[in-house]
């Protein structure tokens, strides 16, 4: 019996797919190279922008023929998209041939659902459940091992769907994280560990036992072994001096910070609910550059947030020009149903979003060219 997994979205999802693979291999499935060979196909979806969701609808739709040919083929759609009740319903009504639809909170129960489908071939949706610490991962990223340190997000940036599909912040116990890394070090295969969370800097806030992200970084670096340590994503409102010091002083920590700014304009930052200003962001960058020479810096930006004027967009442009990031990701604002920003007036036409995103990408190219020359 063979499985094929299609993964969309962020590293969190890449890592979740390693869990899906672990569950399937425990049940006796083995991986295959094409979906044609598969007995079970899993789509691990992303909901962050409309484009990501459209691709899932297209790709799942294409399986209709395969399902007709092979009645025993099991099709699973899971991940962030299906954690939204309406989207889960829409998927099931559009594609009645899908066997299992389950949300992010229910991933650990995938095996149970597959067994149920094999017996009765019924469709299930479930959107409640717990995180687990026990299920195995089938790691697929070579010398790098992804380590989940927390899940969810409490920030509710007004454009973002993630808090709705990943729930509130929940930190794993430090002891469990350290044990996981110790075990992996014993295996001897891994040279790099990348800690994952939507906002790693708030790691430990919910544990109320004095654990902080900076402490976690120091404690991991104190483990014996030859490895580098990396993490994502940092939120500018929570990236504090202790963490900057840790990156500066711990040899094992990679000198790289992904620090999404989203906008360079204070009015837009405020209505995005980002809780920092342009000035605060630039202060952090100054601090990083003073303490960590040659630190690589990357960022995310959203253009065309509701009401964004040309002048406000220029502030984003000038921020990028000022910081000279090593690279940036520039996204056109995509309204997500259920979020505050989707209900705001003055939605920006697609044409203007395109123009703005192209301007940022041209700027990035120019900066990279100049820096390469230097």
- Catalog residues that contact ligand F3S under the rule CB under 6 A: 9-10, 12-13, 46-48, 80, 161-162, 165-166
User: Cβ closer to ligand SF4: 162 or 216?
Assistant: 162
| Residue 160 makes contact with ligand SF4 by CB under 6 A | yes
Query: Site residues for ligand SAH, window 41-80 (CB under 6 A)?
Result: 48-49
Rounded to a whole number, what is the largest CA-CA distance in the chain?
65
| Residue 336 makes contact with ligand SAH by CB under 6 A | yes
Q: How many helices (H) and strands (E) does the chain have?
A: 13, 14
Distances (CA, A) of 17 to 8, 41, 100, 140: 10, 12, 16, 9
Rounded distance between C-alpha atoms, residue 146 and residue 194, angstroms? 5
We find the least distance from the C-beta atom of residue 176 to ligand SAH, in angstroms, to be 22
CA-nearest of 274, 155, 236, 139 to 194 is: 139
Beta strands in the chain (DSSP E): 2-7, 30-31, 40-45, 74-79, 100-103, 124-126, 144-148, 150-151, 170-171, 192-196, 228-232, 256-258, 296-303, 327-332
We find the least distance from the C-beta atom of residue 310 to ligand SF4, in angstroms, to be 24
Binding at 333: pick from ligand SF4, ligand F3S, ligand SAH, none (beta carbon under 5-8 Å per type): ligand SAH
Interacting span for ligand SF4 (CB under 6 A) from 78-86, 126-134, 149-157, 308-316: 149-157
CB atoms within 10 A of CB 208: 7
User: Cβ closer to ligand SAH: 231 or 333?
Assistant: 333
| Residue 230 makes contact with ligand SAH by CB under 6 A | no
Binding at 156: pick from ligand SAH, ligand F3S, ligand SF4, none (beta carbon under 5-8 Å per type): ligand SF4
Residue nearest to ligand F3S (CB): 9
Binding site for ligand SF4 (CB under 6 A): 153, 155-157, 160, 162-163, 198-199, 235
């Amino acid at each position: 019996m063979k499985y094929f997994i299609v993964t969309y979205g962020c590293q969190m999802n890449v890592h979740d797919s390693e869990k899906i693979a672990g569950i399937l291999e425990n049940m006796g499935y083995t991986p295959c190279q094409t979906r044609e060979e598969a007995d079970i196909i899993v789509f691990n979806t992303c909901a962050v922008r409309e484009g990501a969701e459209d691709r899932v609808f297209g790709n799942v739709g294409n399986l209709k023929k395969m399902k007709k040919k092979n009645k025993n083929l099991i099709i699973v759609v899971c991940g962030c998209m299906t954690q939204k009740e309406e989207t889960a319903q829409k998927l099931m009504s559009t594609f009645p041939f899908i066997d299992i639809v389950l949300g992010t909170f229910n991933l650990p129960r995938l095996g149970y659902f597959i067994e149920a489908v094999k017996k009765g071939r019924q469709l299930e949706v479930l959107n409640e459940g717990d995180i687990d610490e026990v299920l195995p991962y089938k790691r697929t990223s070579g010398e790098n091992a992804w380590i989940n340190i927390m899940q969810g997000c409490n920030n509710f940036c007004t454009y973002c769907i993630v808090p709705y599909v990943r729930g509130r912040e929940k930190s794993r116990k430090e002891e469990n994280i350290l044990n996981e890394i110790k075990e992996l070090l014993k295996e001897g295969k891994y040279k790099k560990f990348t800690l994952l969370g939507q906002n790693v800097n708030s790691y430990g806030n919910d544990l109320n036992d004095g654990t902080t992200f900076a402490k976690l970084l120091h404690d991991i670096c104190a483990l014996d072994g030859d490895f580098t340590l990396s993490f994502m994503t940092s939120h500018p409102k929570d990236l504090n001096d202790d963490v900057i010091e840790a990156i500066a002083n711990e040899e094992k920590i990679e000198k790289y910070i992904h620090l999404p700014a989203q906008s360079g304009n204070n009015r837009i930052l405020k209505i995005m609910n980002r809780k920092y200003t342009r000035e605060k962001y630039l202060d952090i960058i100054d601090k990083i550059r003073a303490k960590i020479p040659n630190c690589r810096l990357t960022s995310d930006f959203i253009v065309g947030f509701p009401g964004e004027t040309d002048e406000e967009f220029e502030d984003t442009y000038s921020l990028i020009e000022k910081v000279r990031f090593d690279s940036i990701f520039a996204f056109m604002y995509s309204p997500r149903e259920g979020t505050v920003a989707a209900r705001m007036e003055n939605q920006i036409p697609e044409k203007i979003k395109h123009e703005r995103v192209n301007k940022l990408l041209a700027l990035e190219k120019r900066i990279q060219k100049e820096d390469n020359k230097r």
